[in-house]
Amino acid sequence: MTAWLLVAPMLLPVLAAGVSFTLSGSRPAQQLLGVVVLTLVLADSVALLVMAERDGPTAATLGGWPAPLGITLLADRLSALLLMVSVAVALAVLVFSIGQGFADSGRSSPFAFHPAYLLLTGGICLAYLAGDLFNLFVAFEMMLTSSYVLITLGAGSGRIRAGMTYTITSLASSLLFLTTIALCYAATGTVNLADLSRKMEDVPGGLVSALSVLLLVVFGIKAAAVPLHFWLPDSYPTAPAPITAVFAALLTKVGVYAMVRTQTLLFPREETWTLLAVAAILTLLLGVLGAVAQDDINRLLSFVLVSHIGFMLFGLALFDVPGLTGTVLYTVHHIAVQAGLFLVAGIVVRLAGTASLKRLARSAPPPPVVAGLFLIPALSLAGIPPTSGFVAKFVLLQAGGEHGGAVPALIAAALVTSLLTLYAMARLWRAVFSAGPERPPPSRYPGNVLILGAAAGIVLTGVGIAVGAGELGRISERAAHDLLERDGYREAVLGEEAG
C-alpha cells in the first residue's frame, strides 16, 4: 500500500496525460479528467504528509532490485509538505485555465494543454519523491518537455523566442546535471541519495567541494538564483497567465527543493556557507532592483520572483535548524502567494488588454474584488504583519541574528529587499487599482466564475498558511531536523545497511 501511495503522484498524471491525448475531440472530458486526477493526487499527498508526521520518512524501492540498486521513492516531511501545497496550487491553476477557456467566447484551451499540464505535474511530483539523482534528472526532463509545449501554446514570434531562451537554458542546465551525476557515480559507484550520503564521506574534500558547487549551479539555474536568473524574466511574462502562474509558483521551487535536499544530505556543513550567503544577497538585491525598474506588470512580478528566491537561499546558507525552518516556511508561503499574484495579473491584463503600467494607469481600474485578491498576496510578499510572508521572514531574520560573518549583510539585504518589494507593490497598486478623476470608473468583471474562484482559492491558501503558521512552523522545524539528522533518511532507504 505504501508503495502505491508513493508511486501514484507521479504515475496517475502521466497515465492521465496519455488518456487525455486520446480525448482531444472532447475538451470537457479532458478537463474533467485533469481535475479528477489532480484531486486524487492531492488526497494522496495529504496521506503521505500524515504518514511522514506519524512514522518519519517512508520509502519504496521499485524495479525488483533492493536499494541502492532499485528505483527509490521517498516521502519525508519536507517532500510531502511541498508536494501537498504544489498539487493544491496546480489544481487551482487548472481550474483557472478551464474558466479562462470558457470565458474566451466559449473557446476551450488547445487540446495539447491538458496532456502537457498533467505531464508537468507528474514531473513535479517525481522531483519531490525521487530518491536518486538520475530519477531527479528524469523529473526535470519531464518538466522541461511539457513546459516547452505549454510556454509556446498559441505561439507568436515573441513566445517562440521566449520558449527557445527557456529551452536552451534548461538544456544547458540538464547537460551540466547529467555530467555531475556521472562524476558522482565515478567517485562513489552510486547515484542513490541515501547511499551517496554515506559514500561521499570517503571522497577527497576537494572533489566533494567541486561536486557541491556543480550541483549548486545546476539547481541555481533551475531556481533562477542570481547570476543564473537571466532566462526567467524573458520567458515567463510571454506565456498565458495560468502557465506563468504555475511556472512561477512551482518550477523554481522544485529547483530550491533539489538544492536543499542535495546540499544537506550529501554535503553537510557545521557553519554558514559563505558562497551561498553571497549568492542570496545578490539574488535579493539585484532581483528587486530589476523589479522596481519595470513597466510591464508580468516582468515586474518575474523580477520579484527572482528576488525572493534569495530568502530561501538565506535559510539554507545558515545550515542550521532555525535557518532551514525559515526556508521551508518561506517556500510554502511563496508557492501560494506567487501563484495568486500572477493569476490576478492575468485577470488585470485580460480586462485592460495591456500589461504596461503606463497604459494601465490610464485605463479603467479592475473591480474591487480583483483589487482585494491582489492586495492580500502583495502585502504578504512585502512581509506586512500578520501575513504568512511576515511570519516566514521573521523566522529567517531571527535565525540569522544568531550568526556572524556574512550573515549581518544578508539580514540587511533581506530588510532592504522587503522595503523595495513594498515599494514595487505600491507602485503597481497605484498604476492598476487606484481611482482618480482622470480615470474611468472601475470596470465590471466579465469573466467566468471559475477564474475568480480559483484565484480566490489560492489567495485564501496563503491566508490559511498565516492562520496555521504555528502548526506549519512546527512541521517545518521537524522537517529541518530531518534534513540535518540524516540517519532517518538513510534508514528508510537502506534499512540495516544505513550505518
Report the C-alpha gap between 280 and 315 in whole angstroms: 9
Predicted confidence at residue 499, as pLDDT, reads 53
- C-alpha neighbours within 13 Å on the C-beta side of residue 459: 23
Question: Is omega for the bond preceding 386 within 30 degrees of 0, making it cis?
Answer: yes
Higher pLDDT, 41 or 101: 41
How many other C-beta atoms can be found within 10 angstroms of the C-beta atom of residue 154?
10
Q: Which helix (H) or strand (E) segment is 288 a member of?
A: helix 274-292
Judged by DSSP in three states, 435 sits in coil
Residue 162 cell numbers, joined:
521566449
Q: How far is CA 418 from CA 3, 304, 386, 393, 439, in A?
A: 43, 10, 15, 9, 30
Residue 188 cell numbers, joined:
562513489
* Overall average pLDDT of the 107-130 stretch: 86
Q: Which residue has the cell 470608473?
A: 441
pLDDT in tens, 357-384: 888 888 888 888 899 999 999 999 999 9
Tell which residue, 1, 33, 41, has the closest CA to residue 17: 33
Higher pLDDT, 122 or 63: 122
Report the C-alpha gap between 312 and 324 in whole angstroms: 9
Judged by DSSP in three states, 338 sits in helix
Q: Which residues contact 4 (CB under 8 A, 6 or more apart)?
A: none
Residue 359 cell numbers, joined:
497604459
Contact of 377 with 462, CB cutoff 8 Å: yes
Whether 73 has a pLDDT exceeding 50, the answer reads: yes
Residue 63 Rama label (left phi>0; alpha psi -120 to 50; beta): left
pLDDT in tens, 7-51: 999 999 999 999 998 887 788 888 899 999 999 999 999 999 999
Report the C-alpha gap between 338 and 211 in whole angstroms: 31
Tell which residue, 364, 366, 252, 265, has the closest CA to residue 309: 252
Q: Which residue has the cell 527543493?
A: 257
DSSP, res 56: S
Higher pLDDT, 177 or 108: 177
* Overall average pLDDT of the 266-274 stretch: 90
Predicted confidence at residue 171, as pLDDT, reads 87
Report the C-alpha gap between 265 and 198 in whole angstroms: 9
Report the C-alpha gap between 465 and 442 in whole angstroms: 31
Report the C-alpha gap between 230 and 283 in whole angstroms: 11
* Overall average pLDDT of the 194-200 stretch: 91
Residue 5 cell numbers, joined:
501511495
Report the C-alpha gap between 480 and 76 in whole angstroms: 11
Whether 65 has a pLDDT exceeding 70, the answer reads: yes
Judged by DSSP in three states, 132 sits in strand
